[in-house]
A = this chain, B = another copy of it.
Amino acid sequence: MGDVRQRLHLQLDPEAGHPRVISPLNRVVLAAVVAAVLIAILSTERSFLPDHRDLLLRVDRGILLFFAVELAGRFWVAGLNPRHAGISGLLRFTLRPSTLTDMVVLVPLFIDLEGSWLTLFRMVRVLRLFQVTEIPAAARAIRAFRSALKSHWFELGFTGVLGAGLLLASSVALYLIEGRLQPDIFGSVPRSIWWSVVTFTTVGYGDAVPITPLGRVIAGFHAIAGLAVVAMFTGIIASALTESVEERDKQDTGPPSP
Interface residues of A (CB under 8 A from B): 37, 40-42, 44-46, 48, 116, 119-120, 123, 126-127, 129-130, 132-133, 137-138, 141-142, 145, 154-155, 157-158, 161, 164-165, 168-169, 172, 175-176, 187-191, 193-194, 197-199, 201-207, 209, 213, 216, 220, 223-224, 226-228, 230-243, 245-246
Q: Are the CB atoms of A223 and B197 closer together than 8 Å?
A: yes
- On whether A120 and B176 interact (CB within 8 A), knowing A204-B204, A220-B194, A238-B238, the answer reads yes
Closest 6 CB pairs of A and B: A235-B237, A203-B204, A239-B241, A45-B188, A141-B154, A235-B238
Contacts of A240 in B (CB 8 A): 235
Q: Are the CB atoms of A45 and B189 closer together than 8 Å?
A: yes
Minimum distance in angstroms from A51 CB to a CB of chain B: 17
Q: Are the CB atoms of B190 and A161 closer together than 8 Å?
A: no
Q: Are the CB atoms of A123 and B172 closer together than 8 Å?
A: yes
In Å, the complex CA distance between A85 and B37 comes to 52
Contacts of A37 in B (CB 8 A): 168
Number of chain copies forming the complex? 4
In Å, the complex CA distance between A164 and B37 comes to 12
In Å, the complex CA distance between A135 and B120 comes to 43
Q: Are the CB atoms of A168 and B220 closer together than 8 Å?
A: no
Minimum distance in angstroms from A33 CB to a CB of chain B: 12
Chain B minimum-CB-distance residue to A199: B203
Contacts of A246 in B (CB 8 A): 243, 246
Minimum distance in angstroms from A32 CB to a CB of chain B: 17
Q: Are the CB atoms of A161 and B205 closer together than 8 Å?
A: no
- On whether A120 and B231 interact (CB within 8 A), knowing A201-B223, A220-B197, the answer reads no
Question: Which residue among A116, A133, A172, A191 has the maximum number of chain B CB atoms within 10 Å of its CB?
Answer: A172
